[in-house]
A and B are shown apart, each in its own frame.
Chain A
Amino acid sequence: MEKLDLNKPVEIAKDIFWVGFDDPNAGFRCNPYVLNDGEETVFFDPGSVPHFPIVLGKVMRATQLERIKHVIVTHQDPDLCSAIPRFEELVEGVGGGFDICTHTRASVLIAHYGTRSPFYRVDANDWKLTLKSGRSLRFIFAPFLHFPGAFMTYDEKSKVLFSGDIFGGLSFDWNLYANEYYAEAMKAFHENYMPSRKILKHTMDKLDALDIEMIAPQHGSIIRKRDVRAYIDILRNLECGEDIFE
């Protein structure tokens, strides 16, 4: 298998780049992604303030700042979106601007980071975003996983599912792509952060109808097509959250 250079943006699908970094001391890694569509860039879960300098460097290698038109934020946790105000300053500094795509419930909290950009509320926009080219990003509501307004994003062109916290993992032994042990890392994360098997199943059932080429989570490792259905089934049946009281 080709050796990946994780010091650069990694193209995980055509024009879609992982722009995170491998911190060997962290058990809780974060994965921001950039999707380029012509002159328009979509930035997924841009990351935290401590990660900002490294992520910024990779974003600038994957696109031009003024092309960033949409920042998709699956929920309001600081690890995935506290750097937004810093990106706003830079993008506005080069004459650009973006909207923050998120659920209404998250938007009222994200504003507390001091963001200035307008919100594109996915729940008020028919759960989709159409790019200038006509490319469609579909938002899949994943209530209470783990935030009440959590959602995933399905790119209909590449068939990549940007899953936010869902399918994430706790891993010191991190690999960009899931290895044979990743299921245990994923279970560890979900047992600790997700509310119940019933709620997980509700969202996993929605994925059955999708043709998914790849799952790109915000924590942990990327899941390739050959493993997608197995990982969905693991989460569909995982006891977590309130199940531990039974």
Chain B
Amino acid sequence: MSSGKIWWTRFVIVFACALLIFFHLIPTGDYDSSWPRPDVILCLCFLTIAKRPEYMPFWLVGFIMFFADILLGRPFGLWTAIILLASEVFRSRMHTATESSFLKEWLTFLVILFFIVLSYRLILMMSFVQTSELGYFLLNMLATFALYPILSVLFESQHAVRRYFFERDMLL
């Protein structure tokens, strides 16, 4: 793995996240909050940590989340700090385990998501920040949880395609 490729992939990830944020920001007139919206950026970060941890060092997680904090109108730093901590826990869970199965990965994500939600809401409540209703927030986090395998399949298929071409090149 050359360091050039790693940096290039990191750049692509940051660019994708920036694009996602700007898509969020486009005024689509959909101001009605009836549909759950998964947190794609969060999902992407954790997925990369599970599959290819070298592409997603902790400082990149911090950078992306802080950028999102500023642009998406969240309180500064809190979400970033929690995700940073949670992502490191997730990373150590993923890469110290001897056998790894997707189900285990997914459930670990669920447990960590639960702790993220709990600590985020608790700290906001303790610092008297006005929050929206918890139910909708939980619904969004459930959607994030549901998105994880979908993104995972996309990730794997992209990997499989690359391997296929690589092997064909080797044969030729």
**Do A and B actually bind?**
no
